[in-house]
Amino acid sequence: MNTHPGSLHSVLRGALPALAEEARSRAEEFEGARRIAFDYVDRLKAAGLYRLLVAREQGGLGAPPNEWLRVITTLAYADASTGWTVAHGAACSALIANLANEGLLGEFLADPMASAAWSNQGKVKAREVAGGLIISGRWGFGTGCTAATHLGGMLRLAATDGEAAARFVVALARREQVRIDEVWDPVGLAGTGSHDIVFDDVFVPWSHTFTWPDCTPNSRRPTGIFVSGTWFITLCAAGTQLGLARRALDEVRQELGPKLDIYSRQPLLTKAAVLHTLEEAEGLLLAVQAGLETVLEEVWDIACCEEALSQDLRLRARLAAVTAVHQCERIVRAAYDAAGAGAIRRAGALQRVYRDASCLTHHVAANADSFEIVGRVRGGFDKLTFRV
């Protein structure tokens, strides 16, 4: 299997700046279309961004998690929908690369333009038949589904003889077997194309299913560190939110830079209230980003030593990510308020940043309930530890 022709360094230093600039210039287009444009997704895939977390020997870039985080933050700074979609697409590729059996794995990795989209928010029925499952129903919030080649979602299979309990699996079908119901119409992150993925009596062979999130990677590659539990999905939201917070602070400084107070005729950026708000926000952003990067550095050190990720470190990663999501939303709100009336212009960037940031705090892997989930696992009150 061929590796990606470009190195991680060449992608980050070469392709990423131009891709980010294109995302920024086309953000309104993506929002209006309620999806990332197909031609742009093709460029993202060709650059290797959907395979950032896939090992080099499998055709990916084998990026450490902090480099992946930097890519997502950079793209989200330009356009949050692009950052979130690439984060999710890269995570899905990593899960397939480290969990799928040879049938799906060979098919997926053989096509450098392949990508997957799935969700755990489903209302589906599955019945077992010879060789697989026949599935009917739909999954909501299928981020990036419009440009994905493999689509599906997570479902619960009842325990069978020899199994102690029910298990959760991801089932994926080819794009031509699936219907997309374009219902995604949110106030923010509209460009993610997170429409419903619909299965109408679709046959999915066992070879195109894999157990997740209570799972074990299929090899000892370092990239397998990401697959157990749901903590890494929360990091997708955190990386996007970090980019939004940085963009909000830069935008408010640009908004207020040329303006004077109507009474004192002093620059608005020198007002005590504005200085206090912006510098407190800068400090908070510095703290949450540093905390997240520190945990991810520890995670990668463990991965490179071919050791399993401990529950404690998963808890810390999930907590750092959830905290970043919520604190960055507060940063964006503070910047929006400090900008004054100029923030509400429909054509201005701040109103879009504000709407995008407000959506991420509602994501199932990053909402306020996530603090309770972490606490219940940490305290030993929840036996389903794979939820973290």
Asked if residue 88 and residue 15 are part of one domain, the reply reads yes
CATH number of 288's domain = 1.20.140.10
Q: E-strand spans in the chain?
A: 116-119, 122-129, 132-142, 150-157, 167-174, 179-181, 195-205, 209-211
Same-domain status, 382 and 251 = yes
Domain at 100, CATH number: 1.10.540.10
Question: Which two structure tokens, joined as six digits, stand for 278?
Answer: 């912006």
Tell whether 3 is covered by a domain: no
Of 110, 142, 173, the residue at which a domain comes to its end is: 110
Using omega within 30 degrees of 0 as the cis cutoff, is the peptide bond preceding 213 cis? yes
Q: Which parts of the chain sit beneath pLDDT 50?
A: none
Identify the domain boundary among 185, 211, 237.
211
255 and 360 share one domain = yes
Tokens in use for 121?
């928010």
Alpha-carbon distance values, 341 to 170, 248, 264, 333 (Å): 47, 15, 18, 14
DSSP state, 132?
Answer: E
Residue 6: the pLDDT is 73
Domain with 374, as residue range(s), is 229-387
Residues 367 and 245 in one domain: yes
Shared domain for 250 and 327, answered yes or no, is: yes
Residue 217 in domain? no
Instruction: Enter the tokens of residue 47.
Output: 């650059």
pLDDT tens per residue, range 254-280: 999 999 999 999 999 999 999 999 999
Say whether both 241 and 316 belong to one domain. Answer: yes
**Can you tell me the distance from the alpha carbon of 55 to that of 196, in angstroms, rounded to the nearest whole number?**
30
pLDDT tens digits, residue range 375-386?
999 999 998 899
Q: How many residues are present in the chain?
A: 388
The reported pLDDT for the residue numbered 13 is 82
**Are 165 and 103 part of one and the same domain?**
no
| CA distances for 296 relative to 79, 217, 341, angstroms | 24, 19, 39
Q: Are residues 325 and 269 part of one domain?
A: yes
| 297 shares a domain with 256 | yes
Confidence (pLDDT) at 211: 96
CATH number of the domain where residue 156 is located: 2.40.110.10
Query: What pLDDT is attached to residue 11?
Result: 81
So what's the pLDDT on residue 1?
56
Whether residue 262 sits in one domain with residue 206: no
* Residue 2 lies inside a defined structural domain of this protein: no
Is 159 a domain residue?
yes
Could you give the CA distance from residue 247 to residue 222 in angstroms, rounded to a whole number? 32
**pLDDT attached to residue 161:** 65
pLDDT in tens, 76-100: 999 999 999 999 999 999 999 999 9
Residue ending a domain, among 211, 238, 265, is 211
Domain identity same for 300 and 349 = yes
Backbone phi and psi for residue 181, each to the nearest 5 degrees, phi listed first: -100, 110
Model pLDDT, residue 10: 80
Do 239 and 292 lie in one domain? The reply is yes
Domains: count for the chain: 3
